Amino acid sequence: MNTLFFHVDMDAFYATIEQARYPEYRGKPIMVGGSSQRGVVTTCSYEARTFGVHSGMPAFQAKKLCPQGIFLPIDMDFYKKTSKKIMSLLAEFTPKLHQVSIDEAFLDMTGFQRYIGSSEELAKQIQQKIEEETGATLSIGIGSSKYVAKIASNMRKPRGVFIIPPGKERSFMSERELKEIWGLGKKGREALKAHRITTVEQVLNCSEKELQQILGDRMGEFLYKAVRGIDPGAFQETRKSHSISNETTFPEDVISPEILEKTLLQLSQKVIFRTMEEQVYGISAGIRVVYKDLSSWSSRRIGKHRAASAQALFQEVKSLLYEKWDTYTPIRLIGVSVDVENESNEVQLELFPDETEEKQRALEEAIFKLNKRGASITRAKLLNPKGDTS
């Protein structure tokens, strides 16, 4: 069956709904955020964009470009409430709704083709419904995969509808600029530039292997598919969020830091291997401690980098231990856990802020695969190439 996806993205989301609730701001250049001199603009109305203002711009710069601009404080509760309302309205159009951020979602319309008349007609109905009920305006990209639909929704903003007919995915992508290729960041573009690759056409002339050599395996494969309009699987829905944990009850209560740390390292490794087994990523690091008298505590820190590898997780839970443990109360049980991402793979591509973490995860993944094939490598040394687990 031919697949059909709509990608819906609100136009200047925070700014538009501010204009909807305060009619005096309509038609005017509105910046949301950046009301303090040192602040940053989160977004701005399309009227402000004509002055060259954009998301992420420091307020002082926006003021210089657009002195008559109106700066509004961020009202996150209002934006979240409106987003919720929009998502439930969108859900009336298909049971298969996949929200990917506060202001965007995919609608899987596969199988509905027969009933919906033209896609464009349906897109217009969606736009009208959302605008009537919430004042938000939006753009819709339509295509055979989530990936091309996502790129298409940017083509005719604001209030746009852009359709990529089946079979035209590759030619559509080949006409894009590299900076339009979603998922390829600045770092990736620079790496390509170092090889004198600056256009999508040039990327199309590279083999998958070549791209992998330049960008690494994951990103190389991603880009090879993306420029061909083949869905690189960036927006797959994964299972619900849950946590993965492992704990050890000691045969005798422990106060030795050496034993506790060794145990934390082993538990971290088990937990991370479980995330690899499930092909998910941890987004927090947690510890649980039960004392001899059965009193207990737990503690966690949020952050993807804290649970990207067993090495990283171990460092986090170790520091959590010493934050709370007085070093002399005997410990009966110790446990390590991570919460697991339930959002799109979007996060995975942007997971590694620096190379060391990426390398560590890759190394551990290699060990994990070897173990799956029957090897038994669990030595702490392997978790850290320098053999330093402190």
Q: Alpha carbon of 77 to those of 80, 83, 206, 216, 270: distances in Å?
A: 5, 10, 47, 40, 39
Choosing from 18, 47, 104, 316, which is the catalytic residue? 104
Calculate the dihedral angle through the C-alpha atoms of 301, 303, 308, 309, rounding to the nearest 10 degrees: -20
14 binds, among Mg ion, ligand TTP, none (CB under 5 to 8 A by kind): ligand TTP
- Whether 104 is catalytic: yes
Distance, in Å, from the CA atom of 169 to the CA atom of 143, rounded to the nearest integer, reads 8
- In the bound state with ligand TTP, the residue whose beta carbon lies nearer, of 103 and 261, is 103
- Asked if 307 is part of the footprint of ligand TTP (rule: CB under 6 A), the reply reads no
List 4, 6, 7, 10, residue binding ligand TTP (CB under 6 A)? 10
Residues, the chain: 390
CA angle 74, 42, 11 (to 5 degrees): 100
Distance, in Å, from the CA atom of 53 to the CA atom of 40, rounded to the nearest integer, reads 11
Which residues from 10-39 bind Mg ion, rule CB under 5 A? 10, 13
Q: In this chain, which stretch among 3-11, 358-366, 372-380, 382-390 interacts with ligand TTP, using CB under 6 A? A: 3-11
Distance, in Å, from the CA atom of 349 to the CA atom of 225, rounded to the nearest integer, reads 15
Distance, in Å, from the CA atom of 213 to the CA atom of 196, rounded to the nearest integer, reads 14
- Asked if 67 is part of the footprint of ligand TTP (rule: CB under 6 A), the reply reads no
Q: How far is the CB of 12 from ligand TTP (least distance, A)?
A: 4
Contacts of 89 (CB under 8 A, 6+ apart): 129, 130, 133, 134
Question: Per-residue x/- mask for Mg ion, residues 64 to 103, rule CB under 5 A?
Answer: ---------------------------------------x
Largest Cα–Cα separation, the chain: 72
- In the bound state with ligand TTP, the residue whose beta carbon lies nearer, of 19 and 119, is 19
Q: Which two tokens stand for residue 356?
A: 């060391």
- Asked if 9 is part of the footprint of ligand TTP (rule: CB under 6 A), the reply reads yes
List 43, 263, 275, 309, residue binding ligand TTP (CB under 6 A)? 43
Distance, in Å, from the CA atom of 146 to the CA atom of 150, rounded to the nearest integer, reads 6
- In the bound state with ligand TTP, the residue whose beta carbon lies nearer, of 180 and 388, is 180
- In the bound state with ligand TTP, the residue whose beta carbon lies nearer, of 157 and 361, is 157
Which residues from 89-118 bind ligand TTP, rule CB under 6 A? 102-103
Which stretches of the chain bind Mg ion, using CB under 5 A? 9-10, 13, 103
Q: Which residue ranges make up the site for ligand TTP (CB under 6 A)?
A: 9-14, 42-43, 55-56, 102-103, 157-158
